[in-house]
Chain A
Amino acid sequence: MTGAATLKAWAGAALAAPVVWLASIVNVPLKSWQRATGTGGMAAFFLAPNMAIFGIFVLVPLVINFFYSATSGTAYFLQDRTYVGLEQYQRLLDCGSYLDTATCREDLFWKAVHNTGLFVVAQVALMTVVSMATALILNREIVGRSFWRAVFFFPVLLSPVVTGLIWRWILQRQGLLNLIVHNRGGEPHNWLTDRFWAFTAAVSVSVWAHMGFYTLILLAGLQAIPRDLYEAAEMDGTKPARVFWRITLPLLMPNLLVVIVLTLIRAVQIFDEAYVLTGGGPGTSTLYITQYIYEIGFASLLRNPGLASAASILMGLVLVVLTLLQLKVGRRGERKGARE
């Protein structure tokens, strides 16, 4: 052994000594625990910290939220609130026609539900198409491919509040977009007080902010498709459109389903970017469910924690259904992968 190697071995041993010492201390109770509980007990031991955190920060608030939804009053502490059973749910669901929000007792809740539905349809469709197109382009041999990949992923790293503020500065009456329009001789437009443009902005900004993540998922799927399939198609003289519909799309379907379900879940939860960008306006045309819950629970002078809790439980149920769908899609993909 050379001098350098000896030195390296000594340094390694010196660095490892505290760890070994610590392990020897922990080893005694751990061995006793394993003897007493078996390997199942060891799994429980290692899972316990995570489960404790999950319990304290997720399960306990969930249960407390459920209790809140069965109470009324403006007080924040449960002992000061009045038990009303399912009254808050009845109030939320009391509607002449669910298609006409004006006939609903809580018209703003249903307005938020309708807006969220519309947002989900538009955002999921646009996100899927744009992410797919971007992934297809970035999968080609283009100049500066790594650079472009980084460019498209960069907005994902931004805080949603920053994203909302940037686009607000661009789209507001005295914003960058109107400056450009004005300098080119056009008539500036008040984009954020126009219902159509405010909705379009909310959807587009959300797509801009998150498409990098979904593009990455699709890109991984594209790169997993065997090259020889494309080579065979090329030799057969198959047109590019047919190659896309017959080879790319079917083989990308598991990834695409994951993207659709994930986008769906995130779209239902839309809050921060849209809240900063439009504040729910004009009127209530970009008021989404999460903002409704936040406003009615904390921010509004008409705050009602019980009603906000009931609304969040209903929204939670929708998310549970979507999550189950995601799990089913994921498992189907895994099974298909295993068969292949």
Chain B
Amino acid sequence: MKKTRTLLAALSVSLLASASAFAGDVRIMWYSDGVEGDVIQDLLNRFMKDNPDIHLTLDNVAYKVIQEQLPIQLEAGQGPDIARVTNIKELAQHWLDLRPLVADPKYWDDNFGDTLDWMRPDGSNAIPGFLTQLTLTGGFANKTLFEQAGVPLPGDKATWDDWINAAAQVAKSQQLPAAFAIDRSGHRISGPNVSFGANYVGPDGMPAKVDDGTKAFVSKLVDWTAKGLMLKDTWVSAAGSTYRAAADDFINAQIPFYYSGSWQVANLSTKIGDSFDWVATGSPCGPAGCSGVKGGAALVAIKYTKNPKDVAKVMDYLAREDVVKEFSERTLFLPAHKGVVEKGGLKWVSTDKNVGPALDKFVKAAGETLSAADALPPWKWANAYFAALVTRVSQVMAGELSLDDAWDKIDQDIADRVAEAK
């Protein structure tokens, strides 16, 4: 009797232990901006057909869950087996190193080597995952509105002043509420800041104090907002570092020029349809260059998975050149896979005539970013800098702070964050 009880207890314990993750079970936490949820599900179904011993579950969640709940799960040593994330550097300690698990680590280094530092702790050679999309900040212009106003679109090397002046003429002619808008995001104004000579990273790798480059562009931005050239709603009507996109105002033809990024292409194509023609403009120029800032969403393996070998197999499949190519073509995302980029010839799956040229423009602009901008994606303190910029600059725009006070506050906010993280 005693023996039976012991056996039953052992069986219960082993059942409980295995209930959380059966061999072959892999959960993927995924968020979508557009159609990528459907595309990835399709690709995963194909994988499961070829690998019946591995069962994949795709948990489609809101982006907020990825931003706010996943970090807490990870802190507790919980979470999915794989996740699609954007906060890839700050949470790097939770990613699984796939180097000893993937079939060919050299393939990963060769094709994703340029962006692996974005998602691993400084000094590490780990392979935590890969970027599902490379993003680049840049502008969009409503070509139809420019034509109706009889204002020519500024050319390739046009400056920020050129663009704002041209957009202001369009806005005046077409009786629009404003000339342009930039998403309410520190990441978004960092490309222009760098183009005006800003460098956020100090010589010791720690955050530098706000420099003349940042001051130059932000001062212009504040001035444009005060004059009503920049749409006030986007930046002023929120507090803190809350993200606000101005895409809907561009889609509704309320502004002729919009500065956001490559990830908007699918969104604009879907929502604008054939209402008007639009073009991607790249980043307008400042004294130092015409730079956007790269970024991206990464698919990473989580350290706390119970099935690391299966996870590696899934990651190997999703990182395959043909799979990355298909994923990019169907989602209209820029690929971060070196082989796919170098071979080119991507056939974007869209009937919208604006899409192909827009994506090609972003691919071209990706080669023109400045080194100060390229330093930001793998930099640990980038988010702290971005958040402090948004919080304080919007206070200046609302008339609560002077620019001089704002510089001090930005430096203080970043210093507090660094001190808190130590």
Query: Which A positions have Cβ atoms within 8 angstroms of B?
Result: 72-77, 80, 102, 107-108, 111, 172-174, 190, 192-193, 195, 198, 278-287, 291, 295, 298-302, 304, 306
Contact = CB atoms under 8 A, between A and B. Distances in A.
Contacts of B238: 278-281
A251 B409 CA distance: 53
A339 B80 CA distance: 65
Contacts of B33: none
Nearest to A173: B233
The list of the 8 closest CB pairs from A to B, nearest first, reads A283-B398, A280-B239, A279-B238, A301-B387, A287-B239, A281-B237, A283-B400, A301-B383
Contact of B237 (A108, A282, A301, A304): A282
Contacts of A80: 75
B384 A302 contact: yes
B114 to A, nearest CB: 25
B239 A102 contact: no
Given A102-B405, A285-B398, A302 B237 contact: no
A310 B75 CA distance: 22
Q: Name which of B237, B254, B397, B400 has the most chain A CB atoms within 10 A of its CB.
A: B237
Q: Name which of B240, B252, B254, B417 has the most chain A CB atoms within 10 A of its CB.
A: B240
A75 B90 CA distance: 12
A301 B186 CA distance: 11
Contacts of A75: 75
Contacts of B416: 302, 304
Contacts of B244: 279
Nearest to B232: A193
Contacts of A285: 398, 400
B420 A74 contact: yes
Contacts of B71: 76
A173 B236 CA distance: 13
A281 B391 CA distance: 11
B399 interface: yes
Contact of A107 (B241, B398, B399, B409): B409
B204 interface: no
Q: Name which of B239, B391, B400, B409 has the most chain A CB atoms within 10 A of its CB.
A: B239
A169 B72 CA distance: 34
B398 A302 contact: no
A contacts with B: majority SS: loop
Given A285-B400, A287-B239, A301-B387, 9 more contacts: A72-B420, A173-B233, A190-B233, A281-B239, A282-B398, A283-B394, A284-B239, A299-B242, A301-B383
A215 B185 CA distance: 43
B1 interface: no
A194 to B, nearest CB: 9
B398 A280 contact: no
A280 B76 contact: no
A74 B401 CA distance: 28
A219 to B, nearest CB: 37
A299 B391 CA distance: 13
B395 A279 contact: no
A102 B402 CA distance: 11
A189 to B, nearest CB: 12
Contact of B232 (A107, A108, A111, A190): A190
20 contacts: A77-B75, A80-B75, A108-B391, A172-B233, A190-B232, A193-B233, A198-B237, A279-B244, A281-B394, A283-B394, A283-B395, A283-B400, A284-B395, A287-B240, A302-B384, A302-B387, A302-B388, A302-B416, A304-B416, A306-B420
Contacts of B72: 76
Nearest to A291: B239
A193 B397 CA distance: 10
Interface in B361-420: 383-384, 386-388, 391, 394-395, 397-401, 405, 409, 413, 416-417, 420
A283 B239 contact: yes
B237 A193 contact: yes
Nearest to A112: B239
B104 interface: no
A295 B236 CA distance: 17
Contact of A301 (B177, B241, B401): B241
A303 to B, nearest CB: 9
B420 A286 contact: no
B398 A195 contact: yes
A72 B422 CA distance: 9
B68 interface: yes
B236 A283 contact: yes
B188 to A, nearest CB: 14
A97 to B, nearest CB: 15
B421 interface: yes
A284 B388 CA distance: 14
B276 to A, nearest CB: 17
